[in-house]
Amino acid sequence: MTRVITAEVCVIGGGPAGAAFAARLARLGHDVVVVERTAFPRPHIGEAMAPSIWTVLDLLGIRDAIAQAGFVRVEKSVLRWAGDTDEDVSPPPGRFGLMVDRGRFDAILLDAARKAGARILQPARAKAPRAGAEGWLVPVETGEGSILIEARFLVDAAGRYSNIRKTDQPTDPRTVALSGNWRDTSLGPGPNRVEAGTTCWYWGAPRPDGAFCAMVFVDADQCHGRRRGDIEADYRARLSESLLLRDCLRGRLEGGVRFHEATPHQSAVCVTENLIRIGEASFSLDPLSSQGVQAAMNSGLQAAIVVHTMLTRPVDARAAMIFYRNARKDTVERHRAAAARHYAAVAGMTSARFWHERAAMAQASAAPMPLRVPPMFAGRARLSHDVRIADVPIIERDRVTLRKGLHHPALARPFAYLDGVAVETLLERMAQSDSLEALGHQLARDTSRERGQRMVSWLVERRILVASE
Ligand SMILES: Cc1cc2nc3c(=O)[nH]c(=O)nc-3n(C[C@H](O)[C@H](O)[C@H](O)COP(=O)(O)OP(=O)(O)OC[C@H]3O[C@@H](n4cnc5c(N)ncnc54)[C@H](O)[C@@H]3O)c2cc1C
């Protein structure tokens, strides 16, 4: 017998994206059910967190739970990249990242969703959802029998291998990670290590269980169709060429070499009227960023606001979808450009295809418009003829809404507020000012003079403000 459950929102996948989404949306008063295939804790790739993760953990109210979980604090990091020297790339004093056990990390996140009021079905495997009369029908298999979830809105948080995603666009050169955990090495406890090799790059860090994790990122062509034994031999040979990680080979490899698909990708569609994709079901970043988990949680938090808007204020549903598409585009492009800059630094010193293909992602991604800083001018300012004023979707008090935005070719995205000043106010105060200095005073009327001058020079630098003829 199939049991039927109804829910307003069904989330498939209880990883960082699904858990962050469910916690936020449940707190906004919605009826959320999460379906997670595996029992937690379970192992998962993606264990290094940058110091900026703490901001996201604060938003979810789980800073203390994570701080007390016994994960490794990452206070030191060493980079050996486009040169012969080791660079100290540690966070500033007082700030630190984490090396977590993803089994326990993900369990704490999912528990936060449960405490916020989301129902969690686990272990429970969602099968292909189908359209129902009022939304979705999601068949679920559990150890205790079959369930059918009837939900108005569906969230695909099932990760890179989501069985709900139909079309996927590999965006960048195909990469795989060869990964091994080493015991009895001299490398842990010690800093995280990143190094450029001849046709690969390396990443290594001490894990909370005392092992040292060493990964080698290689071109996927190097591994496809090869036997497991050959892949392990290749992994060991590459480690022997690494200056920062070769000491692993003096230790003991525990459990063999694992193979992970690591090519950045994007799903063709990230949001529709009744479906949203979050985390790696929507996009994955180049692992060089070490920020996949944080990006997945951020996309879950943004999606919660988007879905809340769509469910409670349908008039803004379109704006909410545009907001979500733009946010994904911005994240993907920002990370792609940053990764490509790092690859280009090495490509400048070698002819190896591995580096040149990855460096080329920079040309493919949108380069910011180069700015020549013009002299400040005297007299009245006006808006450039390239400026367009049109509505933009922004988040305001837990919902996406439309506000007047200023569009200009020098801006990657239009803005609705400049340092807290609304575009309408900016336009009014421009009309009242007969010099740049006066405009600075007007813009910062309630705060400091410097703040007003900063806003004015920002607008002049981008040629949004020009001298009136
Ligand atoms: C080699 C490599 C190294 C990486 N290193 C890092 C790193 O150091 N730091 C970092 O931040 N990120 C790293 N990442 C990225 C990180 O792993 C991901 O960004 C992150 O796990 C994405 O979270 P998610 O919630 O979107 O997906 P996932 O964490 O994959 O969670 C998806 C969940 O959905 C469940 N699920 C799937 N299908 C179903 C179904 N049909 N029914 C029910 N449940 C289902 C799964 O069991 C899983 O729990 C790395 C990735 C790779 C490939």
41 and 115 share a domain? yes
Cβ distance 36 to 107 under 8 Å?
no
Q: Whose CA is nearest to atom 14 of ligand 1?
A: 46
Q: What is the pLDDT of residue 166?
A: 58
Residues 35 and 146 in one domain: yes
User: Rounded to an integer, what distance in angstroms lies between the CA atom of residue 381 and that of residue 107?
Assistant: 56
Let me know whether 392 and 459 are in one domain. yes
Same domain, 112 and 42: yes
Q: Is the pLDDT of residue 400 over 70?
A: yes
Residues 331 and 397 in one domain: no
Nearest protein Cα to ligand 1, atom 6:
46
pLDDT band for position 98 (cuts 50, 70, 90): very high
Give the whole-number percent of the chain exceeding pLDDT 90. Answer: 74
**Residues 43 and 133 placed together within one structural domain of the fold:** yes
Cβ proximity of 101 and 41 under 8 Å:
yes
Q: Is residue 106 part of a domain?
A: yes
Structural domain including 28 reads: 3-47+101-166+265-338
What integer best gives the mean pLDDT of the chain? Answer: 91
Residue 185 Cα to ligand 1 midpoint, Å, equals: 28
Q: Is residue 321 part of a domain?
A: yes
115 and 26 co-located in one domain: yes
> Nearest CA to 415 among 383, 441, 390?
390
**Domain containing 330 — which CATH number?**
3.50.50.60
pLDDT band at 438 (very low <50, low <70, confident <90, very high): confident
User: What residues line ligand 1, using a CB cutoff of 6 Å?
Assistant: 12-18, 35-38, 44-49, 125-126, 157-159, 163, 177, 260, 262, 279-280, 287, 290-294, 296
Q: Which helix (H) or strand (E) holds 409?
A: none
Residues 419 and 282 in one domain: no
- Identity at 443, one-letter amino acid code: L
Tell me the per-residue pLDDT of 139-162, one tens digit each, with 9 for 90 and over.
999 999 999 999 999 999 999 888
Report whether 460 contacts 404 (CB < 8 A): no
Residue nearest to atom 49 of ligand 1 (CA): 15
Residue 235: pLDDT over 90:
yes
* 366 inside domain: no
In this model, does residue 307 exceed pLDDT 50? Answer: yes
Give yes or no: residues 34 and 109 share one domain: yes
User: Quick check: is 119 in a domain?
Assistant: yes
| Ligand 1 pocket: which of 280, 286, 298, 299 to mutate (most atoms within 8 A of CB) | 280
Residues 24, 62: Cα–Cα separation, whole Å: 12
Report phi then psi at 38, rounded to 5: -105, 155
387 lies in the same domain as 331:
no
In 220-268, beta strands by DSSP E: 252-261, 265-267
Q: How far apart are CA 459 and CA 469, in angstroms?
A: 18
Distance 23 CA to ligand 1 centre (A): 18
Mean pLDDT over 35-47 rounds to 92
56 assigned to some structural domain: no
Has residue 387 been placed in a domain? Answer: yes
Number of domains in the chain: 2
What confidence tens digit (pLDDT) does each residue in 330-387 have? Answer: 999 999 999 999 999 999 999 999 999 999 876 555 445 445 555 666 778 889 999 9
Same domain, residue pair 312 and 388: no
